[in-house]
Every structure is written in structure tokens, then in C-alpha cells.
Amino acid sequence: MTSPTDLIPEPAYVRRHGTDFWELGPNTGLAVEEGAEPAARWLRSTLGAATGLPLAPASAGGDDVIRLSVQPRPTQGLAAESYQLAVTPRGAHVVGGGPAGLFWGAQTLRQLLGPDAFRRAPLPGRQWRLPLVHVQDSPRFRWRGLMLDVSRHFMPKDGVLRYLDLMAAHKLNVFHFHLTDDQGWRIEIERYPRLTEVGSWRARTKFGHRASPLWEEKPHGGYYTQDDIREIVAYAAERHITVVPEIDVPGHSQAAIAAYPELGNTDVIDTTDLSVWDTWGISPNVLAPTDNTLRFYEGVFEELLELFPSEFVHVGGDECLKDQWRASPTAQARIKELGVGDEDGLQSWFIGHFDKWLTARGRRLIGWDEILEGGLARGAAVSSWRGYEGGITAARAGHDVVMCPEQQVYLDHRQHEGADEPVPIGYVRTLEDVYRFEPVPPALTSAEAAHVLGTQANLWTEVMEGQARVDYQAFPRLSAFAEVAWSDLPAPAERDFDGFERRMVQHYERLDALGVSYRPPAGPLPWQRRPGVLGRPIEGPPPNR
């Protein structure tokens, strides 16, 4: 049993009624009202597995019942993702403003049952008790995201499904799926089979930062079939998580060019010699700004739209090195033909083309803040990663923004300055640093701040060779981030980090039950270290803090 004050993310309102409990047992039923069936299926499968209780169908008016209901009309007071949870001596009632709100309320009920409710099979001798409590809750942001890079190191499908469960347990609701990069193409495109035949694997992999002399001398690869993608999207939807796919253009495209050399700047280099990149950094090999390239990627996006129903489609747009365009007669002629002025204008034209293409099909483009260079594509939203500035500029221009500044919420960055921190990358971002992150820049007016859709934590996997390393970098910081994204916290300096740490004591037990290989508060365990493997230290304090 967990104290109601140990919930993460912290609810808006919690009131405990005395010190008594309602105990669940073999006769506890599940009363499911209209619209609550999906949440009931999830609750019965997860709590049924953890507790061994059948949670058989029951009447809503009886005792010893968990009752699930969806508010029939939004005008009754609860927004779609809001919920109320009441536990009395007779049972529990979870009501959501919509199916998503009911699901988040069910997640809270699971937390209240204690860490063992997060296991996959019952442990002997356990009591299942809920405190008599009233919880009322709603999220601060509509976009509460996690980006997972599966291009640098491939995560098999089961690992992706596991991360969707971890997101759901933290009330995160947007999964940004980074599917393509220089180091690998991870999604089957039926009309272009070489994207996976060639582009989904590399001959070897750099171990550590690109300055490291170490290599893993074996092939690395993998990709998701279209049926895998359909399964992932459906699994996410059952947990009220939207999957936003990313196909990176026009930079970070060496894997695609290796598969189809005609996509590259063939008047500058011999692209037939290219292979999928085996090291880290930014490849100079970018897409050629030709009609052939546009038609090719339109074909890619046509198949993508059939697989992903999300409103947004991410097109990358970051770190496009323009040296080849400067040297390319074809690119220079294109700049002159379009009248876009320079290479930045050419990138803006490239992104703008897909903005219009997606808009015509009822979707919205989102890209990293480099899409601001050369002029912001009309209708596009921005993932602001290079600090706050790109998000501020975009919001002031009336464009929607997802705040994910590298200096605050890039979870591949090191968690401590200690020498034992494995493959130390970038700035030190402690658990407290993440907890004090504020997604809405104070420089924005209230009208401008309304364009901040929400926030997102990013996991770039260059130095995360497997699931345990991803876990280590993500947790416990993702738990702090989830509270920032969900809860209406005070200003960063006024946040009760000591209270959050006290609540984390229970939450570590939940993570243990889920099998998460998080970084312990005392530092990395011996097998979590990577002695002698170079990272990427950055001296001095991070900007925009």
C-alpha cells in the first residue's frame, strides 16, 4: 500500500479520509459503464496479473466494486484527460472526462495499490488495500512527450512496447519515434525495399563518443515491418499515447543515400561508395534538392500516413550541413531558379514543400528548430531543442511549439559529474535539474505561451547500446520530467524537490517491480559503468538555464 502523498506525477488535489482502507479480494468486481471498456480491459489485464484477482464483471450499485465510468458530456466539468478517483469503504469509483482521463485515473489507482501492483504475477501473502481517498487531477500540457532514437541503436519491438507501458505509467502521451538517421533506416517502405535491405544495418559501430578509439566490430541493425508498426501504434492507442513518426530530411540521411545513391548530391561526390554510417556526429552527405528526391520522399510519406494516424508528422530538418549544396551546380541552379537566396533558403523550400504536402492531406508538419532558418514554413510547428530561443521565436510568430531544450531535457546527457558516470555526454543534468525545468519561457506573453503545446524529453542513443543503458539514462529523470509535464508546479525555484525525493522512495520500488535499470541515487552500480570509454564533456554552465 502506498501513501496518497507518494503519487508521481503529483495530482492537483488529494484528500485522505482517515486512516482506514478498502481491501480488495477474490470477490471484488469490476463495474464497467458505457465508454469505459478499454480502461477495464487494461485494468483487468494488469491488476489481474499482479494480484491474481479475477475482477469479474459486477453491478455498479453493489459493494466491493471498482466502478469505471466516462463522463457522458464534457460540459459536466471534466476535460477529456481529467479524472476523479474516490475510494470509500464500499469500493472505488474512477470517472474520466473522456476515455483518456479514465485511463490516467486507473494508473493512479494502480499506484495506490503499492509497488507490487506493477509486477506481472502475484507474490504470495500480499494484501491489496486502497486508502480511503479522493483525488482530482488533470494535466498541465496536452503534449507530454518522449522521443526515442532507434536509428543509432535499434530497439526491438518488444522494447518499444515496454517503453510505451513505462510512458503510460507516468501519464506521458506522445511517443516521438525517431526512425531514420545517418546510422540506420528502421521502417519498412514497401515501394523502396533497399531502405531496409541496405539502410537498416551497418558493418560496425563506434563505442563511446566519436573521439573514442573503440569499435564494436560486428554488424548492427534491425527494422520494423509495417505490421510491427501497426502493432506499436495500436498498442500505444490503447494507452492513449499518440505515436509521432520522424523521417529526417534533408540532413541525417546517409542511410537512405547508401540505399538509393541517386538521392545524394551526385555532382559533388560518388554516392555509390557510401555505406550506412558507422560513427557519430553529423554526416556531410545530405539529400539533393531535386524533384526526384521530392517524389521519392512523397512515396515514403504516403506509406507513413497509412501507418500513423497522428495529427503531426516530424520531418527532422536539423543539422543539415550545406557544404555539398554550396559545391553543387545542381543545388546552386535550384537556388537561382527558386529565388530563395542561399542554402538556408533552399532548406526552407525543402521543408516548406512537405509542409504543403502534409497539410493537403490533413496532417501537420513538425520539425526541429532549424526549420526556422531561411524562414519558417507556414503552418509548421517547432520542436525547440537548441535552447528556448527557437521556441520563443516560433511562438511569437504564431506557430505551435514543443519545448525540448538540449540543456534541460536531453536525457542522453550525464546525470552526475562523477568519474564513474558511464560514457559522460554533454552537460550534467541531475534529477533536480530536470525537476526544476520550466517548459514555458517567462519571456512569452500569455497569448504567445498558448502556442506551447507542451514538452518532451529526448533520448538519443549513440552511447546506449541496449535496453539497460536506455533505462539508466532515462530513469529516474523521466519520472521527474513526467511531473513537470503533468502537474501544475510552481516556479522552478519554489518547487519542493525534497518532497519529490521523498515520493521517489516509493517510486523506485515501482521501477524495481517493472524491471527498470535506473541510476540509483548513490551512483551507478558496477555493471552500469563503462570505464575507459570516452564521452563528450562540455566545459562551463549550460546556456539558457
Residue with cell 541531475: 430
Residue 17 appears among annotated catalytic residues: no
Q: Given the residues 6, 81, 181, 406, select the one marked as catalytic.
A: 181
Q: E strands, 162-261, where?
A: 174-178, 180-181, 184-185, 201-202, 205-206, 215-216, 220-221, 242-249
Residue 252 appears among annotated catalytic residues: yes
Residue with cell 561508395: 273
Q: Given the residues 64, 319, 438, 512, select the one marked as catalytic.
A: 319
Among the listed residues 417, 528, 512, 434, the one whose alpha carbon sits nearest the alpha carbon of residue 472: 528
Report how far apart, in Å, the C-alpha atoms of 124 and of each of 1, 52, 56, 510 are: 15, 10, 21, 18
> Phi, psi at residue 261, to the nearest 5°?
-60, -25
Report how far apart, in Å, the C-alpha atoms of 68 and of each of 79, 104, 235, 317 are: 16, 12, 21, 44
Contacts of 257 (CB under 8 A, 6+ apart): 263, 264, 271, 274, 285, 287
Among the listed residues 460, 463, 444, the one whose alpha carbon sits nearest the alpha carbon of residue 452: 444
Neighbours of 344 (CB within 10 A): 18
Integer Cα distance of 119 and 112 in angstroms: 14
With beta carbons less than 8 A apart as the criterion, state whether 219 and 278 touch: no
Neighbours of 305 (CB within 10 A): 16
Residue 181 appears among annotated catalytic residues: yes
Q: Given the residues 170, 240, 252, 399, select the one marked as catalytic.
A: 252
Neighbours of 380 (CB within 10 A): 24
Residue with cell 504564431: 398
Enumerate the active-site residues.
181, 252, 319
